A = this chain, B = another copy of it.
Amino acid sequence: MGVKGALTNLKVLDLTRVLAGPFCTMMLADMGADVIKIEQAGRGDDTRFMGPFQKGESAYYINLNRNKRGMTLNLKDPVGKELFLKMVKKADIVTENFRPGTMEKLGIGYETLKEVNPRIIYAAISGFGHTGPYKMRPGYDIIAQAMSGLMSTTGWPGGEPTRTGTAMGDVLAGLSCAIGILAAVNSRNITGIGQKVDIALVDSAVASLEIINMIYLVEGRVPQRIGNRYESTYPYDSFKASDGSLVIGAANNKLWQSLCQVIGKPELAEAPEYLEVKDRVGKHEELKVIVEEWTMKHTVQEAFDLINKAGIPCAPIMTIDKIVNDPHIAGDREMFVKTNHPIAGELTITGSHIKLSDTPTSIRTHSPLLGQHNAEILEELLGLDIEKVKELEGKGVL
C-alpha cells in the first residue's frame, strides 16, 4: 500500500466475517497492515446483506472493512485451496472466525498452514474458544454476554438481566485478538516462528468483569444489578434533570464536599452521616433524592455547567445524534470521518480510537467491492496474469 503506518510490514489473509473478526482486522488495517479480505466467491461477507444501507450498499460492511483489499476465493475448490496455501507462504497472519474445526475440514487448519509457513501467525476468534467441552457451541454476541455474567450485572434492581446495547462480546474479542496477534508478531521477531492465537468471545467478556468476579471470589456475595450506581463510592450515579439525565462521579470526600456547595447544601459537607465514602455508599438512596432534588430544577446543560465548573466529574448522557456532531469527539478526536464509496457515495464512518503520534492511523481506502482486487492481489503475490485470473473467475474458483 506504500502508506505510512505502524503495521505496514504486515500482510494479513483475513477470512473473518460479520463483526468480531472484521473489527480486529479493521484496527490492523487502520494502522497500515495490508489486510486482504478473502470472501466467499459469489456472495461475500454476510454483513453485505445487513443494514443500515445507503444506495443499496451496507454501511455495516463499509465501516468495518475500510482500508482492506478484497478478493473472492472458493476454499472448497481444490484449486482455490492451492491458491490459498501459496498465498499463506507470502503472508504474516491468517485470521478466521469459523466454528472450531471448520478450517481443518477445509484442509487449511493451523497444523497444515504452519508446515507451509512456520512464520505464520494464525488467529482464531470463536464463541467459546478452541478447547473445552463447549467449544462446538455456536457463540453469537448475546450468548457471550449471557454466559460471562455481563448481563447478570447490568440493569436495575428487581429488573431483568440486560444486554449491553452494542455487540460488546464481539468488540471485546476483536480487541483481544489484535493484542494476541501483535504479541505474537513481537515473539516471532525473537523466535522466528509464528503461533496460534485462540480468542473466545466468552473469555473476553469474563475478563472484562474482573472486579465483579473478585466480589464473589472473596466475599462469596453474588454481585447484583444496581442500576447506574457503583458499589464502591457515592454519589457516582445518574441523576434526572428537567430535560434528561446526567451522570456525576463525586468519587471521593473532596469531590463530595464540592458537590454539597454546588447543590446549595453546604451543611451536608460536614454532616457526620455522610462523612466517609462507606457512609455515603450505605446511604445512597437518600443521597440520590437529595442530589436529584437539585438537578431536577435545572436542565442537563445548566446542571452540567455548574458541576463541571466546580471540577467535579460529570457528563450529560449523550445520544448518538449529539455524539456524531460533538466538537471534541467528532472534531479534535476525529472519531467520525467523512469518506467516499464508489456506490454508496459520501458517508461518515467511525474513526480509529488508537491514536499514535508518529504513525497515525488513517482511513485511506473504501471497503472493497466483492472481488475488487482479485487480479491485483494474485498478480502481486503469485504472479498470475489477468487471463489466468479471468479463467479462475469463470470457473468459480474466485
A residues bordering B, Cβ < 8 Å?
6-10, 19, 23, 27, 31, 50-54, 59-60, 63-64, 127-129, 131-135, 137-140, 142-143, 145-156, 159-168, 171-172, 175-176, 178-180, 182-187, 189-191, 193-200, 202-204, 206-219, 222-223, 225-228, 230, 232, 236-238, 245-247, 249, 251, 308, 311, 313-321, 323-324, 327-329, 331-333, 335-336, 347-350, 352-359
CB distance from A299 to the nearest CB of B (A): 16
Whether A162 lies near B152 (C-beta < 8 A) is no
CB-CB nearest 5 A-B residue pairs: A132-B332, A153-B165, A182-B182, A195-B358, A154-B165
CA distance A182 to B349 in the complex (A): 25
CA distance A324 to B149 in the complex (A): 10
A163 — nearest CB in chain B belongs to which residue? B228
CA distance A196 to B358 in the complex (A): 7
CA distance A60 to B50 in the complex (A): 41
CB distance from A82 to the nearest CB of B (A): 26
| Majority secondary structure of chain A interface residues (helix, strand, loop or mixed) | mixed
Residues of B within 8 A of A331 (CB): 132-133
A64 — nearest CB in chain B belongs to which residue? B210
The answer to whether residues A335 and B149 also contact, given A213-B350, A232-B50, A358-B193 and a CB cut-off of 8 A, is no
CB distance from A209 to the nearest CB of B (A): 5
The answer to whether residues A208 and B356 also contact, given A53-B218, A186-B9, A324-B213 and a CB cut-off of 8 A, is no
Residues of B within 8 A of A317 (CB): 146, 151-152, 161
